[in-house]
Amino acid sequence: MTDIPKAYEPHSVELKWYPIWEQRGYFKPSGDGPTYTITIPPPNVTGSLHIGHALCYTIHDVLIRWKRMQGFSTLCVPGTDHAGIGTQNVVEKQLRNEGISRHDLGREKFLERVWQWVHQYGGVIITQLKRLGCSFEWDRERFTMDEGYVAAVMECFVRWWEAGLIYRGKRVINWCPRCSTAISDIEVEHEDRAAKLYHLRYPFTDGSGYVVVATTRPETMLGDTAVAANPNDERYKNLFGKIIRLPLVGREIPLIADDYANPEFGSGAVKVTPSHDANDFEVGLRHNLPKPIVIDEHGRMTEEAGAPYAGLDRFEARERVLEDLEAQDLIEKIEDYTVPTALCARCHTVIEPLLSEQWFVKMKELARPAIDVVKQGKVKFVPERYEKTYLDWMENIRDWTISRQLWWGHRIPVWTTEDGSYIVARTEEEAKAKAGGRPIKQDDDVLDTWFSSALWPHAVLGWPKQTEDLERFYPTSVLITGRDIIYLWVSRMIMTGMYFIGEIPFHDVYIYATVLDEQGRRMSKSLGTGVDPLDLIELYGSDALRFSLLVRTARGQDIRFAPIKEGRHPQVEEARNFANKIWNASRFVLMNIEGKQGIEARWIDSDALADRWILAELNTTIEQVTAALKEYRMNEAAQTLYNFFWDQFCDWYIELSKQLVASKEETEEARAARCRIAYVLETSLRLLHPLMPYLTEEIWQRLPHEGESIMLAEWPVADASREDAQAREQMDTLIAVITKVRNIRSEMNIPPGSRLKLFIGTTDEPVQWLIEQNAEQIKRLARVEEINVAAALPAMQSAARDIVSGIEIGVPLEGLIDIAKERERITKEITRKESEANGMKSRLDNPSFVERAPREVVEQTRERHGELTAEIEKLRATLATLGNI
RNA sequence: GGGCGGUUAGCUCAGCGGUAGAGCAUCGGUCUUACAAACCGGGGGUCACUGGUUCGAUUCCAGUACCGCCCACCA
């Protein structure tokens, strides 16, 4: 076995297998069986792999590999998103470095540049996913702006327009002055900032005094067209209708009565700026107020703002307005105030509410069926709590601003004729035809990126064409995504799916863990807290990275992931060690079957305890891992396999069967043992494969196997007939005895090399038999040269004694004994047992416990208490004799 | 202002009605013919706090305190 390295070397294995899998077409759906389909959340073309992605797509691959092994016709469709603002920003930055802006290039040339960029650098992440081992169907890879996808987006727009669900409206929207575009409500983040609340005096024209209004944004006063107070506010009852002269501007504006004004706040009077505040806009509509726009799309004051201010940046204007008001003694007071500030989710620029004309989608009607299917349980959220998050949002849904003042994206398919009427068409040709020769001009704006991704599940399967894929793979099985895009994406896919296909897009929505940095902050490259998964793959291998992420993915709980420090990452190291453990256990098995006759990975029935036991344990593992995967409990699947493989298979089964398996002889008995150990290993590898694909394939190929790849091997099925409670119980006893002897040796400082004699005292005949049957094993694992079993321990001059599960254990020490140490050891043992016994006694003494607790619990407690009492007594006796030596 | 998570060993986290588990770290011992990235053994926790339900609560319920997310038009 010179050709098996002593440690697992991931890189060559990874680079070897992935191309083979891909070339052999294993990633494609196969057979006519039931389907299992996932469409991945398309990462941004501009993106590169981060830990969050690594986790997300690892989960995808685990489920796909698992289901593939279960015999499903599996399909995982990958792809990327054109990511409107994000991508445009990247290319604009590139241009800026060249000293030009997109306007210098013009729209057409700019788009060429973006496409060039996309082809050159886009989709890096896709290559990275291959390194992770993702078995996705690359031949069906999609892009949200590929030809077919454009058709889907146009189809959607046109059909919604025809149904009256899309409209053009003028209202106050969220405007990002840096991105220079409108954004939707959900793309706005809120942050509390320490700022000021300014109380301003607005004088009445008749000289009868003034009214005080409070504002956090004084510069907007230039656009005020009224002051409002609550109609029930006694302070203002007699003042409604009076005219105010707006300071600095000189405009005459009325004091109006409107419910919007809150009498509790400040003076109870509020300034009304219809063009720069959504609420004020509503007030303006109710009272038919003018709506002067005083801030432009770059965040600068407009001509309408008036001479001294026009052209100033909004924040400069704020200072200037305050100075000017101060000069006229119109500032009543300035208070410190915490202002909930709206920021652009993309660039964190302060959002400017701006009156503007945009395209909107009516959401109420689209939302209804999407609410119903979730309520009816047709679409299930995992963890369940996100159902409420989803429903709360959907029940209060507002119309969606879909137009963006960008160049990169799906151009809005609306053309305007000279007389201002709209022509909505799927293509320019269609629009021209509809125009019938009249000159037309296409809308300059593009659609929100999420408008196109909303169609993802059916669009990637070919919609609007009635493709075979759509027929076969829709609805998909599960959507795996982060909680931050439940509103932005998940909800919208359900809506479009219901609307266009009349069917849910996926049965389950699995919200996976958010990966945080060490301090519990969201992982972010800009904060420098990101960890590059490729660095970890370099260090420890792909399987280790995958496993380390999976083993931490519990119940949708967030994961804290530390950075690499001094070239090490303990969390992934743990998984790497496991990979190495698997490697070496396999190495042992391979070493002992190589060149031997008639070895298959097949179970051959055996009466031996270890054999019966490992078979039962393996069966339980199959059951638990399968159930865990089914319920998306990734950590449980990983943990169960880890424990089975390391603690049971390696620590006990291999050790117990070592003698036979590694014997030089080729007896039938040895052959059977080799088949069995190969069987347990091979089955374990199949269970591990979805989590650690490379390692398991590499080893599996070297084991006796059927089929071309572990990817196509059958997922193990649990078999109730393999359950063996007796074997488990006996094995527990065996382990307890061996551990106790080791414990005595260690505590008594007995040299590990020295061979001991072991005396066992028990009146329990089956236990006597058990010890005798497994005497050889005990000798080897406890390093004992002789075992004597009797009803009780014989009198021994000097010995260490203990008792476990009612079995007395005596180790003669022949003068080596350190009496003080032995007393200490036994005393500690007694104390431990006593504290346990006392707890049980107090429960048994409590009549309500005995009456009301389930009978088995009471029985168990009573039994264990009896056992403990007997053990304590014996240990006390031992302690007493120690003094006499 | 609402809603949702979290608080368990020095660290990172599982568990979730019968008086606590893992990995790492720590201490002691090992080249025991797969593995020192390993093996064997040990130590370490009033499971945030306060009440309630229960024979019994780390586990269920209510509240409190921190930490973190999400939603919300109060200027």
| Dist. CA A481–CA A457, nearest whole Å | 13
Is the pLDDT reported for residue A562 higher than 50? yes
| Chain segment A677-724, per-residue pLDDT in tens | 999 999 999 999 999 999 999 999 999 999 999 999 999 999 999 999
List the nucleotides on chain B closer than 7 A to a protein CB. Answer: 3-6, 12-15, 18-19, 23-24, 28-43, 54-56, 67-75
pLDDT for res A1 = 45
pLDDT for res A542 = 96
Positions 760-779 of A with beta carbon below 7 A from strand B are none
What average pLDDT does this structure show over A167-195? 88
What average pLDDT does this structure show over A191-201? 88
Confidence of residue A153 (pLDDT cuts 50, 70, 90): very high
Size of chain A, expressed as the number of residues it contains = 885
pLDDT for res A884 = 52
| Chain segment A646-677, per-residue pLDDT in tens | 999 999 999 999 999 998 888 999 999 999 99
Which tokens go with A193?
A: 């900032």
A226 touches strand B (CB under 7 A): no
Which tokens go with A634?
A: 């990734």
Burial state string for A176-206 with b = 16 or more CB within 10 A and e = fewer than 16: bbebebbbbebbeeeeeeeebbbbbbbbeee
Positions 628-647 of A with beta carbon below 7 A from strand B are 635-636, 639, 646
pLDDT for res A522 = 72
Is the pLDDT reported for residue A38 higher than 90? yes
What average pLDDT does this structure show over A397-419? 93
| Chain segment A394-405, per-residue pLDDT in tens | 998 989 999 999
pLDDT for res A883 = 61
Beta bridge partners of residue A334, listed in sequence order: A198
Is the pLDDT reported for residue A524 higher than 70? no
Confidence of residue A831 (pLDDT cuts 50, 70, 90): confident
As a whole-number percent, the residues of chain A with pLDDT over 90 amount to 67
| Dist. CA A446–CA A855, nearest whole Å | 71
- What does pLDDT average to over chain A? 91
Distance (Å) of CA A31 to CA A68, A71, A75, A474: 11, 9, 12, 17
Confidence of residue A527 (pLDDT cuts 50, 70, 90): low
Which tokens go with A72?
A: 């499903």
Q: How far is the CA of A853 from the C1' of B16 (A)?
A: 19
Which run of H or of E encompasses A281? helix A278-287
Confidence of residue A593 (pLDDT cuts 50, 70, 90): very high
Is the pLDDT reported for residue A555 higher than 80? no
pLDDT for res A89 = 87
| Chain segment A72-124, per-residue pLDDT in tens | 999 999 999 999 888 998 898 899 999 998 999 999 999 999 999 999 888 88
pLDDT for res A815 = 64
| Chain segment A620-644, per-residue pLDDT in tens | 999 999 999 999 999 999 999 999 9
Positions 779-798 of A with beta carbon below 7 A from strand B are 783
Whole-model pTM: value is 0.93
pLDDT for res A885 = 45
Which run of H or of E encompasses A287? helix A278-287
Beta strands in A65-187 (DSSP E): 73-77, 79-80, 142-143, 166-176, 181-183
Is the pLDDT reported for residue A880 higher than 70? yes
